[in-house]
Amino acid sequence: MRTDHTHLHLLAPVAKTLFRLVLLAAVPAMSAYAAGDLLVEAELDRPEVHVHAQAVYRLRFLHAVDVRDVQLAAPALRLADLRRIGEDRTFEAERDGRRYRVHERRYAVFPFASGTLELAGAYAMGRVPSNAARPDGWRAIRIDAPARTLTVLPVDIQADGAPWLPASALKLTEQWTTVENGVHRRTLRIEATGVEAAQLPELEVKVDGMGVLPGQPRLQNYFSGERNVAVREQTFVIMPADSGLFTVPPLQLRWWNVATGKAETSALPGRTLHVGEAASVPAASGTWLKRIAFGHLSAILLLACGGVLLALMRRRRKRTREG
Per residue, what are the HEC states of the chain? CHHHHHHHHHHHHHHHHHHHHHHHHHHHHHHHCCCCCEEEEEEECCCEEECCCCEEEEEEEEECCCCEEEEEECCECCCEEEEEEEEEEEEEEEECCEEEEEEEEEEEEEECCCEEEEEECCEEEEEEECCCCCCCCEEEEEEECCCEEEEEECCCHHHCCCCCCEECEEEEEEEEEECHHHCEEEEEEEEEECCCHHHCCCCCCCCCCEEEEECCCEEEEEEECCEEEEEEEEEEEEEECCCEEEEECCEEEEEEECCCCEEEEEEECCEEEEECCCCCCCHHHCCHHHHHHHHHHHHHHHHHHHHHHHHHHHHHHHHHHHC
Task: Fill in the amino acid letter for 14.
Answer: V
Residue 69 binned pLDDT confidence (cut-offs 50, 70, 90): very high
CATH topology classification for 157-286 = Immunoglobulin-like (2.60.40)
Architecture (CATH level 2) of domain 33-153: Sandwich (2.60)
pTM over 0.85: no
pLDDT of residue 117: 98
What digits encode the pLDDT tens for the residues 129-174? 887 666 678 899 999 999 999 999 999 876 566 789 999 999 999 9
Average confidence (pLDDT) over 289-309: 47
Domain ranges of the chain: 33-153, 157-286, 291-323
pLDDT of residue 181: 81
